[in-house]
Chains A and B, each alone.
Chain A
Amino acid sequence: MDGKTAAVTLKNITKTFGSTVANDKVSLEINKGEILSLLGENGSGKTTLMNMLSGIYFPDEGQIFINGKEEVIRSPKDAFDLGIGMVHQHFKLIDVLTATENIILGLKGKLNIKAATKKIQEICDKYGFEIDPNQKIYDMTVSQKQTVEIVKVLYRGADILILDEPTAVLTPQETEKLFAVLRKMRDDGKAIVIITHKMHEVESLSDRVAVLRKGAYVGDMVTKETNVTEMTNMMVGRSVTLNIERPDPVDPKPRIEVKNLTVRNEEGVVKLEDVSFTANSGEILGIAGISGCGQKELLEAIAGLQVTESGHVYYIEDNGEKEELLGKDPLAIAEMGVTLSFVPEDRLGMGLLGNMDLTDNMLLRSFRKGHSLFTDKKEPKHLAEKVVDDLEVVTPSISTPVRKLSGGNVQKVLVGREIAAAPKVLLTAYAVRGLDINSSYAIYDLINQQKKEGVAVIFVGEDLDVLLELSDRILVLCGGKVNGILDGRTADKNEVGMLMTRMGGTQDNA
């Protein structure tokens, strides 16, 4: 292929978990000096395939050739020895240790921190990483942690690098920096595989794309010769339209008014400082910001789950009557029509109970209704069936414990339940986190429907491109402060990116 040599060749790799076939006779080549994007919907087997390369899983059938020689990879150590390194979606770092200690963890020989630090510095200088080897992990930002992971892989002499959704938690600027490093490593002759759901990143970074669908290998394309629609169609297996609608808001009225809201967390750190804005009915207010900049606290304050220090949150009725929400208990706020669907990093952490089945999780919203001593299971059961039908939730039955569903389906259940409560205000955070492109669009559609029905939607998102396409207005949070409220139709990505990282930006209300 273009005279390139294959660093890794996978031949007829099959892996099953119980009765589920995660990978079905996958054959794939990864070339030296090339960045390969591995595409596929959620559950199409991308991560499983790469985990077999990095020694976490062992294939049931098939062969792996590294640099032309057949190899057996039984453990992460075997993979390291063959020069394969993987940066996992969830970092594998130990918080109380320094970067250096984390990087040399598991290696043999006498402990020599100084020599290790020097070698790490050399790697950093070569590729342009900026980390302090003596810094503790808990002091680091997400992007620094990721850098440590990459350096860890390079320190062990890897020349085949696998990155699983590396940009999910980075700002556009940090992403650019990472890509610059990856390109440098490619030019250095390393083979790089990147798994991502963000199509524009695939286009800007990779040389070739390989597509998996339902565990089977569909084909590969040179990135330059293809486009997003073609790639998506290949992933999904039928043609899909990739347009996020943005209907004009109909008769927007102020619904939620937040005034000078300040929130401190338990340790006394200011999480929100003097935040003021208005959310209108029939409108989507997007909230952009690096994760941990107060998004969670803001939504929880509105939903009555967060202790606030000062400020006001008003709920405004259609007739203009204002009602203070702070100080009300969450149940009363929920009954007024404010619903919160927050998808935390571990997905099940808030909103759903993993060990309960779909029906019982629906019941969580309605068990207080009725006067009988016993709970009414009929309604929730219908609702569960409806959500499964409407949102195409893949589940064996509605009496399956939620934790057994895949991440995307769990999210559909959560969002579906919150929307079914016919809210006046829908608060949603990271609703599409980790979802593939097709499911994501299903969720955007749902949110747009709510908007058309006159719901005030506050949408906290990670993907700036989506925020820019979906939101009517975008509020940018940075370190707990409002750095600007922009018009979603005219704002540009760089501008939002700058506001996300610069402290104390000017506030120009659109």
Chain B
Amino acid sequence: MFGFLMNFIPRAVVQGIPLLYGSTGEIITQKSGNLNLGIPGVMYVGAISGVIGAFFYENSGAAINPFLAVLIPLLCCLIGSLLMGLLYCFLTVSLRANQNVTGLALTTFGVGFGNFFGGSLIKLVNSDVPSIALSTTSSYFSKSLPFASKLGGFGKIFFSYSFLAYLAIIIAFVASYVLNRTRAGLHLRAVGENPNTADAAGINVTKYKYVATCVGCMIAGLGGLYYVMDYACGVWSNDAFGDRGWLAIALVIFTIWRPNLSVLASFLFGGLYILYLYIPTGMDHMEYQEIYKMIPYVVTLVVLVITSMRSKRENQPPASLGLPYFREER
């Protein structure tokens, strides 16, 4: 049993990190009253932007500088997801388009964008397999703390991850602190709850919505980058990211809009996501695996039922979530 956990926990954590990025980003976005269903698309765009950056740097023929090898994909990823965030804000905040439709469109767009440019890069290298391997860049991204392997099981569980994994946890805790303990967080929550009141109190509603959504998208985009560069060892293949973006949105509800809870919950979801690999089914009954793959979604459904039983007002979604704000419409 101990051996199983030693093996299982690090894998669950690694699975959970992209979800943690996605859910932290979405929580910040939703706190401003924007329901961004485009997060799966944003994570795709974040991933492929990083891949594009890394691809051209690796193939530029110059000597690879470890520092630049990390910085270039990171910046590309942030810029790509920022553009997605700006697009979403322009449509929903400035033009007051329907948030659900815009979000779903961005997801479709983002996945297509990823697959198109992923496919193009694959064509460029004339590879035999339908994927690109950026192993050099990946090796820098997945560097873990040097002393981890010396600490045995303890080290494996706590210190065996790459810097992006720790960054995800730090961002989640910082987001929690900002939301609950600072004036900017108070104003952001006010905007998401009741933009009319926030406006009357002199808070710039448009600015808060734009900034929160764009920052949220950039954080979510990092989740995509982590997936490709660390989890997938730098191998991009189309559609490999799967439905992790939707799980990240489910996590937002599961954690009742709290990034600090999201840290543990994302590892739990990561575990549930790969649990089917650990449940013995035998070779005769591979079909059961498909049923076990449903576990995270079943858990989400159960959580939805539980949270909808209106226990506390604080645990409800931001009151104006999904609604456009227009000052003159009182």
Asked whether, in the complex, the Cβ of B313 is within 8 Å of the Cβ of A105, the reply is no
Asked whether, in the complex, the Cβ of A105 is within 8 Å of the Cβ of B198, the reply is yes
Q: Which of A75, A76, A105, A138 contacts B186 (CB 8 A)?
A: A105
Asked whether, in the complex, the Cβ of A97 is within 8 Å of the Cβ of B202, the reply is no
Closest A residue to B191 by beta carbon equals: A94
Residues of A within 8 A of B313 (CB): 95-96, 136, 138
CA distance A436 to B310 in the complex (A): 39
Q: Is B58 an interface residue (CB 8 A)?
A: no
Contacts A97-B193, A138-B313 hold; do A110 and B200 have CB atoms under 8 A apart? no
Q: Is A77 an interface residue (CB 8 A)?
A: yes
Instruction: List residues 81-126 of chain A with CB under 8 A from any CB of chain B.
Output: 88, 92-97, 101, 104-111
Asked whether, in the complex, the Cβ of A95 is within 8 Å of the Cβ of B201, the reply is no
Asked whether, in the complex, the Cβ of B200 is within 8 Å of the Cβ of A92, the reply is yes
Asked whether, in the complex, the Cβ of B200 is within 8 Å of the Cβ of A94, the reply is no
Asked whether, in the complex, the Cβ of B193 is within 8 Å of the Cβ of A75, the reply is no
Q: Which of A75, A92, A108 contacts B197 (CB 8 A)?
A: A92
Q: Is B183 an interface residue (CB 8 A)?
A: yes
State how many residues of chain A have any CB contact under 8 Å with chain B. Answer: 24
Q: Which of B197, B202, B316 contacts A77 (CB 8 A)?
A: B202
CA distance A231 to B116 in the complex (A): 75
Q: Is A80 an interface residue (CB 8 A)?
A: yes
Contact digits for B190-217, partner A, Cβ 8 Å, 1 yes 0 no:
1001101110111100000000000000
Asked whether, in the complex, the Cβ of A93 is within 8 Å of the Cβ of B197, the reply is yes
> Shortest distance in angstroms between A114's beta carbon and chain B's nearest beta carbon?
12
Asked whether, in the complex, the Cβ of A267 is within 8 Å of the Cβ of B310, the reply is yes
Asked whether, in the complex, the Cβ of A105 is within 8 Å of the Cβ of B193, the reply is no
Asked whether, in the complex, the Cβ of B186 is within 8 Å of the Cβ of A80, the reply is no
Asked whether, in the complex, the Cβ of A110 is within 8 Å of the Cβ of B183, the reply is yes
Residues of A within 8 A of B256 (CB): none
Residues of B within 8 A of A56 (CB): 200
Instruction: List residues 177-194 of chain B with CB under 8 A from any CB of chain A.
Output: 181-183, 186-187, 189-190, 193-194
> Shortest distance in angstroms between B306's beta carbon and chain A's nearest beta carbon?
16
Grouping DSSP codes into helix (H, G, I), strand (E, B) and loop, the B interface class, with mixed when no group exceeds half, is helix
CA distance A107 to B310 in the complex (A): 32
> Shortest distance in angstroms between A309's beta carbon and chain B's nearest beta carbon?
20
> Shortest distance in angstroms between B141's beta carbon and chain A's nearest beta carbon?
36
> Shortest distance in angstroms between B47's beta carbon and chain A's nearest beta carbon?
35
CA distance A96 to B192 in the complex (A): 11
CA distance A88 to B197 in the complex (A): 11
Instruction: List residues 138-193 of chain B with CB under 8 A from any CB of chain A.
Output: 181-183, 186-187, 189-190, 193
Instruction: List residues 56-94 of chain B with CB under 8 A from any CB of chain A.
Output: none
Q: Is B319 an interface residue (CB 8 A)?
A: yes
Asked whether, in the complex, the Cβ of B183 is within 8 Å of the Cβ of A109, the reply is yes
Residues of B within 8 A of A106 (CB): 187, 190, 198, 201-203
Most buried by B among A96, A101, A108, A267: A96
Most buried by A among B189, B201, B310, B319: B201
Q: Is B314 an interface residue (CB 8 A)?
A: yes
CA distance A93 to B198 in the complex (A): 9
Contacts A92-B197, A94-B197 hold; do A105 and B187 have CB atoms under 8 A apart? yes
> Shortest distance in angstroms between B180's beta carbon and chain A's nearest beta carbon?
10
Q: Which of A95, A107, A109, A136 contacts B319 (CB 8 A)?
A: A95
CA distance A111 to B177 in the complex (A): 12
Residues of A within 8 A of B203 (CB): 105-106
Q: Which of B183, B190, B202, B316 contacts A111 (CB 8 A)?
A: B183
CA distance A110 to B183 in the complex (A): 7
Contacts A96-B313, A105-B186, A110-B183 hold; do A76 and B201 have CB atoms under 8 A apart? yes
Residues of B within 8 A of A111 (CB): 181-183, 186
Contact digits for A339-369, partner B, Cβ 8 Å, 1 yes 0 no:
0000000000000000000000000000000
Asked whether, in the complex, the Cβ of A76 is within 8 Å of the Cβ of B310, the reply is no
Contacts A76-B201, A138-B313 hold; do A94 and B194 have CB atoms under 8 A apart? yes
Residues of A within 8 A of B200 (CB): 56, 76, 88, 92
Residues of B within 8 A of A77 (CB): 202
Residues of A within 8 A of B314 (CB): 96
CA distance A84 to B182 in the complex (A): 27
> Shortest distance in angstroms between B123's beta carbon and chain A's nearest beta carbon?
52
Asked whether, in the complex, the Cβ of B193 is within 8 Å of the Cβ of A76, the reply is no
Closest B residue to A103 by beta carbon equals: B201
Closest A residue to B189 by beta carbon equals: A97
Contacts A96-B314, A136-B313 hold; do A75 and B183 have CB atoms under 8 A apart? no
> Shortest distance in angstroms between A13's beta carbon and chain B's nearest beta carbon?
20
In the A-B complex, the 9 residue pairs with the closest CB atoms = A106-B201, A77-B202, A106-B202, A111-B183, A92-B197, A105-B201, A94-B193, A92-B200, A94-B194
Measuring CB to CB, which residues of chain A are less than 8 angstroms from any residue of chain B?
56, 75-77, 80, 88, 92-97, 101, 104-111, 136, 138, 267
Q: Please, could you name 13 A-B residue pairs with CB atoms under 8 Å apart, sorted by A?
A: A76-B201, A76-B202, A93-B197, A94-B197, A95-B194, A96-B189, A96-B313, A96-B319, A97-B193, A105-B187, A107-B183, A108-B183, A136-B313
